[in-house]
């Protein structure tokens, strides 16, 4: 199939038509680009798995057109509504018991479903016009780096999906925070732009919170093809080493990407995946990543680096 690169404003209506017809479209969100299809259409959902080569054991996130859909797709969980009112639309995904409307394939047969509402204006225009929930995992082939631009989506999925809507670079640059609600407590399954500190104001957080709890979090993930290691005082030798630097270039490396010249973890998150892609394309033997401070979204950045290194 030929993948069409679409631009707003005309592209919005074209993408809505693709999705209404059961097709697959790459859409910008405030975190990373998603590979979207009608969440209530099991055939469309199946085509997401095949385009990504994603194992059927790894469930998808559903994006909602509005908060009202929470009660249609999930069984009543008061804390989910509290979180939704506080953090939606935005980069928080909640895992809750699912209703009968949600296809089995989408949740990999689990009794829970992961839900979020994107704050990206283009994503919102598309989903409001469509008025259907959209299943949308990150728009990369399975196990690869999440895309933060329309060009990245084409690198990953050109010829496998119907369209990509170009919304420019993503604001946060890393995937949403995922929390599971259990007995009035929260368990963080994946760290992201909404931090543990922000969540703690809402409900107690289970100390067992761990990055390895989400089904898709078990394996190495977010990985470049080039081997990546984390080193606090990186050395440029032997040659053909590239550096994924925190805030300055120490010199001597075959290629360097600086995550945040100003030393800001939010800037580092926004630059992370693009920088990893460029280093991966530079023909290096090894990528050495410097740790970043684990404050705020820095914790999510380090989680991604550890997985890339696994």
CA dihedral 239, 241, 243, 244 (to 10 degrees): 180
Is residue 138 at the binding interface for Mg ion, with CB under 5 A as the rule? yes
Is residue 186 at the binding interface for ligand TXA, with CB under 6 A as the rule? no
Strands 163-165 and 25-27: parallel
Is residue 188 at the binding interface for ligand TXA, with CB under 6 A as the rule? no
Kind plus residue range of the DSSP H or E element containing 38: strand 34-38
- Report the residue from 23, 26, 28, 59 that binds ligand TXA according to the rule CB under 6 A: 59
Stretch that binds ligand TXA, among 58-66, 80-88, 254-262, 282-290 (CB under 6 A): 58-66
Minimum Å gap between C-beta 242 and ligand TXA is 25
Q: Which is nearer to ligand TXA, 31 or 246 (CB)?
A: 31
Structure tokens at 149: 């631009």
Q: Which does 114 bind (CB under 5 to 8 A by kind): Mg ion, ligand TXA, none?
A: ligand TXA
Long-range own/partner contacts, residues 110-114 (CB < 8 A, 24 or more apart): 110/59, 110/215, 112/180, 113/59, 113/62, 113/73, 113/74, 114/59, 114/60, 114/61, 114/62, 114/178
Is residue 178 at the binding interface for ligand TXA, with CB under 6 A as the rule? yes
Is residue 177 at the binding interface for Mg ion, with CB under 5 A as the rule? no
Stretch that binds Mg ion, among 96-104, 137-145, 203-211, 244-252 (CB under 5 A): 137-145
Peptide bond into 89 cis (omega under 30): yes
Is residue 133 at the binding interface for ligand TXA, with CB under 6 A as the rule? no
Q: Provide the 3-class DSSP secondary structure of residue 74.
A: strand
Q: What angle do CA 118, 302, 282 make, to 5 degrees?
A: 95
Chain residues binding ligand TXA by CB under 6 A are 29, 31-32, 34, 58-61, 93, 95, 107, 110, 112-114, 136-138, 175-176, 178, 189, 214-217
């Amino acid at each position: 199939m030929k993948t069409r690169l679409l631009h707003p404003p005309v592209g919005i209506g074209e993408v809505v038509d693709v999705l209404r017809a059961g097709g697959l479209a790459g859409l910008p969100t405030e975190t990373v680009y998603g590979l979207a299809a009608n969440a209530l259409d099991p055939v469309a959902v199946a085509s997401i798995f095949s385009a990504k080569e994603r194992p059927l054991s790894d469930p998808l996130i559903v994006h909602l057109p509005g908060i009202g859909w929470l009660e249609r797709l999930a069984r009543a969980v008061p804390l989910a509504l509290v979180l939704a009112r506080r953090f939606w639309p935005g980069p928080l995904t909640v895992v809750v018991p699912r209703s009968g409307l949600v296809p089995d394939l989408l949740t990999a047969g689990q009794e829970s479903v992961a839900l979020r509402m994107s704050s990206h204006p283009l994503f919102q225009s598309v989903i409001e016009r469509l008025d259907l929930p959209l299943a949308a995992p990150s728009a990369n082939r399975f196990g690869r780096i999440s895309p933060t631009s329309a060009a990245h989506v084409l690198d990953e999925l050109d010829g496998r999906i119907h369209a990509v809507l170009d919304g420019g670079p993503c604001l946060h640059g890393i995937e949403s925070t995922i929390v599971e609600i259990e007995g009035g407590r929260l368990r963080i399954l994946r760290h992201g732009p909404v931090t543990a500190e922000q969540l703690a104001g809402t409900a107690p957080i289970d100390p067992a919170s761990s990055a390895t709890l989400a089904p898709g979090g078990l394996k190495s993930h977010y990985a470049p093809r080039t081997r990546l290691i984390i080193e606090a005082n990186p050395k440029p030798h032997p040659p053909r080493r590239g550096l994924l630097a925190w805030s300055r270039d120490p010199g001597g490396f075959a290629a360097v990407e600086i995550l945040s010249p100003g030393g800001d973890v939010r800037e580092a998150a926004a630059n992370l995946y693009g920088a990893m892609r460029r280093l991966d394309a530079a023909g290096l033997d090894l990528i050495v990543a410097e740790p970043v401070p684990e404050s705020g979204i820095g914790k999510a950045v380090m989680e991604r680096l550890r997985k890339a290194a696994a």
